Structure formats: structure tokens, C-alpha cells
Amino acid sequence: MRELIIESLSKKYGDVRVLENLNLRYRSGTINGIIGKNGAGKSTLFNCIARNTPYRGKIERKNIESIGMLSANPYMFPRITGYEFIRFCLSAKNRRENRQKMLQLNRLFELPLDKYAENYSTGMLKKLHLLALFLQENDLLLLDEPFNGLDIQSSAYLSEILKQMKHSDSLILVSSHDISHLLRISGTLTTLENGSAYFRTESLSDIEKEFQREAEERVKNLFSIT
């Protein structure tokens, strides 16, 4: 079993405090969803876990040697083919190429792997990053907005792939604004709010209703003032 134990995690950018004394625990065998408003600190949390940025506190990564992270807006070299990018990602992690697995996965994503990345659409680029991450077989996967930009069918494939991966002892954290999608696949759901984090236990319909109610009230009030 792999485990991520976060204790007293705090993160500031200059004087701006983003995460304040977070205590969280995640295990493999389930998908862990993360939600929060824009700017709540989801990407920052992932960057701390991936050691991309300094932080205060302790993050214990039990049985986790390799970490794969999909950024919300990942960079891509323009003059590299999809296939070359995958090979580059595999060699960066010292992994052997499994051509059969690559072709099998790409039957779902349908990427033109022999074409330069500059010819890819936004969703295709995201799928290329995801494909490379899946082939790397990391112990911990941090996916920041993986559904953003994917078409409906690809989102469904991604959900099913993640559901399969949770059985292979990968520890998976997924941040998303697409709450219905996230709740359909997640075993745990964490909300980040005002620097703090807490686990949610309500049902999908209750959480959706809460957001809807708040939106209706605030917009109605706004329009009644103007």
C-alpha cells in the first residue's frame, strides 16, 4: 500500500498565505478528488507534494518513489512528435518502452503520434501528457484538471482508466472543477478553502445542490440591488 501523509503543511508566496497547517492522509486503492474555488491552492498543494516548490511542514511519501504530475497548463515542445515525447518521458523515468500498451491506450485517445505537437489541439495535448504519464507507471499520480479540454468520450475513457489504475496500487489525486465527473470516480473528496482543507462526506446531489443554492441566492441578490 502507498500512502501520503501530510502534516502541518503551510505554503506562502511572499506574504500571501495559500495553505495553512494542512493535515491530510491519502492511500492507494481509491481515487482522491480535490475541489476548491479558483485560487484555493489545489495546484500549490500538488506542487508541494511533487517537491516542485518549497513548503513548511512534513509530507511523508510511503512506498512512493516515482511521482507523475499533470499540470493544469502543461508545457509542450512544438517540434517534437507525440511518439518522441512519450519516449522522452519514458527515458526521463528510466522506463522501457511498451509499444503494445502505448498502442492499446492510444486506441482510446486516437492521437496522431507521428505528427508534431504543434499540430495538436488543446485536448490532444492533454491526452498526450496523460498517455505519457500512464505509460510511466508512477507510484503517485497528481492530475491537475485532467478533464479540462477533453471531449466527452475521452473524459469517459479517462475516468475508466483511472478506475482501473486504482486497483494497481497507484495513489491517485485528481483536482477538478467538474464535480459530477469527479464524484463519480472518487472514493474521497477534499475541499480546499481559505487555506484549510477538509474531507467531504455528502453525496454528489447534496454537494451540487449546495453550490446551486449559493449561486442562485448570490446572483438573485446582486440583480435585486442593481
Ligand X SMILES: Nc1ncnc2c1ncn2[C@@H]1O[C@H](COP(=O)(O)OP(=O)(O)OP(=O)(O)O)[C@@H](O)[C@H]1O
Applying CB under 6 A, which residues contact ligand X?
13, 16, 18, 36, 38-44, 72
Contact predicate 73/145, CB 8 Å? no
Q: Give the residue with the Cβ less far from ligand X, 40 or 183.
A: 40
Task: Calculate the CA 95 to chain-centre distance.
Answer: 22
Q: What DSSP line would sit under 55-123, residue for residue?
A: -EEEEEEET---EEEE-SS----TTSBHHHHHHHHHHHTTPPP-HHHHHHHHHHH---TTSBGGG--HH
CB of 26 to ligand X, least distance (A): 17
Q: Give the residue with the Cβ less far from ligand X, 28 or 32.
A: 32
Q: Looking at the chain, how many residues does it have?
A: 226
Report the distance separating Cα 183 and Cα 116, nearest Å. Answer: 35
CB of 36 to ligand X, least distance (A): 5
Contact predicate 115/82, CB 8 Å? yes
CB of 225 to ligand X, least distance (A): 27
Q: Give the residue with the Cβ less far from ligand X, 18 or 189.
A: 18
Q: What is the four-CA torsion angle of 49, 183, 153, 45, rounded to 10 degrees?
A: -20
CB of 134 to ligand X, least distance (A): 22
CB of 186 to ligand X, least distance (A): 17
Report the distance separating Cα 178 and Cα 25, nearest Å. Answer: 23
CB of 133 to ligand X, least distance (A): 18
Q: Give the residue with the Cβ less far from ligand X, 41 or 82.
A: 41
- Would you give the end-to-end CA distance of the chain in angstroms? 56
Q: Give the residue with the Cβ less far from ligand X, 72 or 108.
A: 72
Q: Give the residue with the Cβ less far from ligand X, 148 or 155.
A: 148
28: helix, strand or coil: coil
